[in-house]
């Protein structure tokens, strides 16, 4: 008999739970109303994306000058010009005994710098640096 009473109580609890769930679900059927439309006066018209200003293209010599001018002060010191030679010197000193003298190896660059430094100031300005550029070889004519 105890099983019968327990079954009846369980059935009543399940029916009660079903009714509570059903009435709660009925409230969920009412959707949340949509937000009111924004007034059109407050919205800005769509804009086209701004185009950045075009940068002036540097000439080949201006780019070469900028590569050597490490501190970007408009002049090239001897140390700045020799800086590009330093890595080549380290490649030549393969055994690391430091027997290769940097000034001896870079004598061509030193002479090139001294020859280009017309005012003997120890620095190169853009006009003096222009004289250090490599002379381009003429292209061979096509024998078609």
Residue 107: which CATH number?
A: 1.10.238.10
In a domain, 88, yes or no: yes
- Residues 79/123, Cβ–Cβ less than 8 Å: no
Token code pair at residue 81: 């010009």
Residue 89 has pLDDT above 70, yes or no: no
In a domain, 67, yes or no: yes
pLDDT at 6: 92
Rounded to whole angstroms, how far apart are CA atoms 108 and 70? Answer: 21
Rounded to whole angstroms, how far apart are CA atoms 131 and 123? Answer: 13
Global pTM exceeds 0.85 = no
3-class DSSP state of 138: coil
In a domain, 74, yes or no: yes
- For the chain, the average pLDDT equals 79
For the chain, how many structural domains are there in total?
Answer: 1
In a domain, 110, yes or no: yes
In a domain, 87, yes or no: yes
Range of the domain at 109: 60-130
- The predicted model gives 89-103 an average pLDDT of 66
Element (DSSP H or E) covering residue 102: helix 102-105
């Amino acid at each position: 008999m105890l099983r019968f009473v327990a079954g009846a109580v369980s059935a009543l609890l399940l029916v009660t739970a079903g009714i509570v769930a059903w009435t709660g679900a009925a409230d969920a059927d009412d959707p949340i109303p949509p937000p009111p439309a924004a007034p059109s006066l407050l919205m800005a018209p769509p804009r086209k994306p701004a185009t950045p200003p075009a940068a002036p293209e540097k000439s080949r010599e201006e780019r070469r000058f900028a590569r050597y001018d490490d501190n970007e002060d408009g002049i090239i010191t001897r140390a700045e010009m020799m800086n590009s030679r330093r890595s080549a010197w380290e490649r030549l000193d393969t055994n690391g005994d430091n027997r290769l003298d940097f000034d001896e190896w870079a004598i061509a660059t030193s002479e090139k710098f001294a020859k280009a430094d017309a005012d003997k100031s120890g620095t190169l300005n853009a006009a003096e640096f222009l004289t250090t550029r490599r002379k381009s070889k003429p292209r061979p004519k096509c024998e078609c």
